[in-house]
Amino acid sequence: MRLIVFTDLDGTLLDHQTYDAQPARPMLERLAARDVPVILASSKTAAEIAVWQQALDLTRWPAIVENGAALAEGPFDDSAYRRIRAALAEIGAPFQGFGDMDTVELAALTGLTPEAAALARTRAHSEPGLWQGTEAALPAFLDALKTRGITARRGGRFLTLSFGGTKAGRMTELAARFGADTTIALGDAPNDAEMLAAADHAVVVRNDHGPGVAPLPDETRVIRTRAPGPEGWREGMAAVLDRLGIGETDG
């Protein structure tokens, strides 16, 4: 059995408020001992993800960035981002993207440190932001984006614009690349639902700070944790490995 793990970061592998991952580290070490790829899958940029790959000892694996718009590998290329920004300028709708904010504004909005906010603004493939118009006007904005090949996905407070690509699609791509026959996905929010639904085994980490994940098409392969954040991550992964018959001492 060849496993591969895909995990969201904020509120899943990282504590929602402190960004601590300590409770999950013994499980990460257990997976590393089995040479199981652990793929970070997040709305974060490649620059942000690189920090966490280093901190969590996951630098040997690629990462899914900007909510599935791309993989974090290869040279930096922000041509897609510049096309999105050009389309927004052409449409002229009341949408405030990260590119419309300076680092101080973004830090205040997100609670990130100024240093982290600067990394979040280093975008290449997608543009998160706030819709500041009326709900009645939103469909026309989405239609204008669609005619330009741009999709919009809501994740938490932000509407994220990109030229496509999802966490689920990238999961399939990487599972094939690494020859994995069993996929495990962990997440805590609606924008993780497609990835969770596509995995062989899904862990929905308890979310006390948002709507969480609605029931998935096949809940029989879903584990919903009692604990939130990295403690829930450890709990869910342990349950999946137990379900697969993989003990702590198995090679």
**Residue pLDDT, tens place only, 113-138:** 999 999 999 999 999 999 999 999 99
Verify whether residue 8 is a known catalytic residue: yes
Q: What is the pTM of this model?
A: 0.88
CATH 3.40.50.1000 segments of the chain: 3-69+166-243
CATH 3.30.980.20 segments of the chain: 79-162
Mean pLDDT of the region 66-73? 92
**CATH entry, 79-162, from 3.30.70.100, 3.30.980.20, 3.20.20.100, 3.40.50.1980:** 3.30.980.20
> pLDDT tens, 200-234?
999 999 999 888 999 999 999 999 999 999 999 99
For residues 219 and 44, give the distance between their C-alpha atoms in angstroms, rounded to a whole number.
28
Has residue 153 got a pLDDT over 90? Answer: no
- The H or E element spanning position 110 is helix 103-110
Spot the catalytic one: 8, 15, 188, 192. Answer: 8
How much is the pLDDT for 155?
67
Q: Is 111 exposed, middle or buried (0-12, 13-18, 19+ CB in 10 A)?
A: exposed
Helix, coil or strand: residue 205? strand
Has residue 251 got a pLDDT over 60? Answer: no
> pLDDT tens, 3-12?
999 999 999 9
Helix, coil or strand: residue 144? helix
Share of the chain above pLDDT 70, in %: 98
Average pLDDT, the chain: 94
How much is the pLDDT for 249?
61
CATH code of domain 3-69+166-243:
3.40.50.1000
